[in-house]
Structure 1
Amino acid sequence: MIIDFEFGLRQLNGNKSLLFRLLRKFAAEYRDLDTRLQALVGAESIQEAEDLVHTLKGVSGNLGCNAVYQDSRLVNEQLKHGEPDASSMQSLFDNLSKTLAVIDDLPDAENAAAPVAKPDEHLETLKAFSQALEQHEYINDEKLANWLATLSLPSSQQAQLTSAVTSLDYDQALTILATVKN
């Protein structure tokens, strides 16, 4: 199953328009993943490549994009060991392409009905994220991915935050979040 819509809906308390909006945002964010990831690997920027794939793994898992999630788990592990495999990356790109095709075929009516992110939801997420960092709470992948999805940050900031949080550099993560607040 390329996308498990039931799982995605459960993650978002049944809010179909929010799921479709987040899936479209996911598609926009990762449509050029193949180019970006190959460039990072080619430039031997393995840590940046790992951060990019780690964020993809979290977001795809939370949205129910199962095929991308499974492949990104494997590629993420390979990148952690500094050994990215071309066939694994190609499988990820192929499944991402299939996932994007499904997302592109979502009904337009759902897109038109999709609410714009509520400012209070954005502020609440920023506040919760900041408090967790200030109190040095452990932030698991799922919670991080949900916060990043709600904040709708550019991939570069998502990757920076993911890297800072996973390496437990919460001061750096707070610095990055401070730029989001402004």
Structure 2
Amino acid sequence: MEDNEINREFACELLRSHDIQVDEAVNGEEAVSMVRQRHYDAVLMDIQMPVLDGLQATVKIRALAQAEGDQRYAAMPIIAMTAHAMARDVEKSLEAGMNDHVTKPIDPDRLFKALATWIPLTADGGQGQEAAQIYEIADYPEDLQTLTSLDIVQGIRRIGGNPDAYRKQLYRFKEHYPDAVAEIRGLINAGELRQAEERCHALKGVSGNLGATDLFEAAAGVDIVLKQNQIPPAEHLLHMEGFLRKVIAQIQALQTAADSRTPGPDQPQAPVANAEIAADLHKLSQLLESDLGAAEAMLEQLQLSMAGHEYLPLLEDIAKKIDRFAIDEALTQLGELVQKL
């Protein structure tokens, strides 16, 4: 249960890459509702979430054991997955009824070790064959190797070893966080230190998962000061902003280079029959209701096959809704697009 879409995608991709089925909740209230509707082997619970935070959600889940007379609510393992790493934070998690505590950015070995403690996994601890291999930067696509301000080896490892999934999260980061430090500075100047800390906390978590080590460390330093309800020194914000700009610039260069390799609408390309596109759109609709990981792969395939198509903008709009997890809206538009073909 994780409210930040990039961090959520990292966790889900990592788990799905090891054949673990995952459902996603975007806030604590939704997490409690989902647990009541379905039996889960375990819950990975973020601490800092809207509506209900992870501690409050855990307390509510544990209370259901007595309220509804069902001991599965008391026995179900709940593992905190959070950037909070202080000893007192661990104590709070345990006091709320959690069983274990895993820190972010995600360490795959630590995560699967924690899961294996509480639920049955595969013979290798759920880590798969690739966990035993040691990867180097040269093992990954050449365009990603240009990202000198990111540790792509660790970033890709945290997302299940999938370079394409990692690249997608880089683009998402560029879209949602280019002005994050300016936003934090503005909130500080307005006296909104709590909101500034929340934004800094989000930046820290995402940059850590991406492998933006310098940015992560700078954000962590500012986050500590804001958590104490104090104003961080201006030079610390400038320091963090410099790292952010470097990361964003390199991701932009990566995306520009990728776009230049994609055939434009005026370039010759093999046409794809509308009937074939409609069949793939129907398959995408089915996957959105059963397997979001496979749905994203199908969506990327459709975007390539529809390059230059008159209805590509409609598909891109659907992709944005899927990216925001507005699945019902995306399904409605998919139906409308199929009718147009």
TM-score class, shorter-chain normalisation, is: 0.5 to 0.7
Q: Percent identity?
A: 27
What's the counterpart of residue 63 of structure 1? 210
For 1:108, which of 235, 251, 258 is the aligned residue?
258
1:94 to 2:278 alignment: no
Root-mean-square deviation (CA), in Å?
A: 3.0
Q: Which 5+ residue runs of structure 1 have no aligned equivalent?
A: 123-150, 154-178
Q: What letter matches 1:6 in structure 2?
A: V
Out of 15, 18, 22, the position equivalent to 2:162 is 15
Aligned to 2:187: 40
Task: Specify the code of the residue in structure 1 equivalent to 2:161.
Answer: G
Q: Does the 8 Å contact 2:150/2:211 carry over to 1?
A: yes
Once the two structures are TM-superposed, the CA of residue 181 in structure 1 deviates from its matched residue by: 7.2
Deviations 1:120-156 (A, max 9, x none): 327xxxxxxxxxxxxxxxxxxxxxxxxxxxx855xxx
Q: 1:152 to 1:69 in 2, by over 3 A?
A: farther
The one-letter code matched in structure 2 to 1:99 is V
Structural mapping, 1:74-89, within 5 Å: 74-81=221-228, 82-89=230-237
Which structure has more helix as a fraction of its residues?
Answer: 1
**Once the 2 structures are TM-superposed, how far is the Cα of residue 66 of structure 1 from its aligned partner?**
1.1
Aligned 1:19-30 pairs, distance under 5 A: 19-30=166-177
- Secondary structure of the residue aligned to 2:188 is helix
1:121 aligned to 265, 277, 292, which one?
Answer: 292
Q: Decide whether the 8 Å contact of 2:188 with 2:231 is kept in 1.
A: no
- CA shift, 1:34, in A, is 3.0
Runs of 4 or more above 2 Å deviation: 118-122, 179-182
**What CA deviation, in whole Å up to 9, does each residue of 1:10-56 have, x standing for no partner?**
01122111111101111111111133112100101000000000011
Alignment gaps of 5+ in structure 2: 1-147, 263-283, 294-321, 329-341
Structure 2 Cα separation of the partners of residues 152 and 44 of structure 1: 32
* Aligned residue identity for 1:61: G
State the TM-score, normalized to the length of structure 2.
Answer: 0.34
What amino acid sits opposite 2:236 in the alignment? S
Write the letter of the residue equivalent to 2:164. Answer: S
Give a deviation string over 1:74-128, Cα, whole Å, max 9, x none. 010011122311111110100000011111121416x96xxx9x73327xxxxxx
Match of 2:150 in 1: 3
CA distance in 2, matches of 1:86, 1:105: 29
Distance 1:57 1:93 in 2: 12
Instruction: For 2:214, give the aligned amino acid.
Output: A
Structure 1 residues 142-181: aligned runs within 5 Å:
153=324
Query: Structure with the greater relative contact order (CA < 8 A, sep ≥ 6): 1 or 2?
Result: 1
The answer to whether the 8 A contact 1:4-1:64 is kept is yes
Paired residue secondary structure (1:105): helix
Counterparts of 2:199 and 2:189 in 1: how far apart (Å)? 14
Larger-gyration structure (1/2): 2
1:78, 1:85 within 8 Å by CA — same for their partners in 2? no
Change in 2 beyond 3 A, CA 1:152/1:55: farther
- Classify 1:2/1:36 alpha carbon distance in 2 versus 1 (closer, same or farther; 3 Å): same
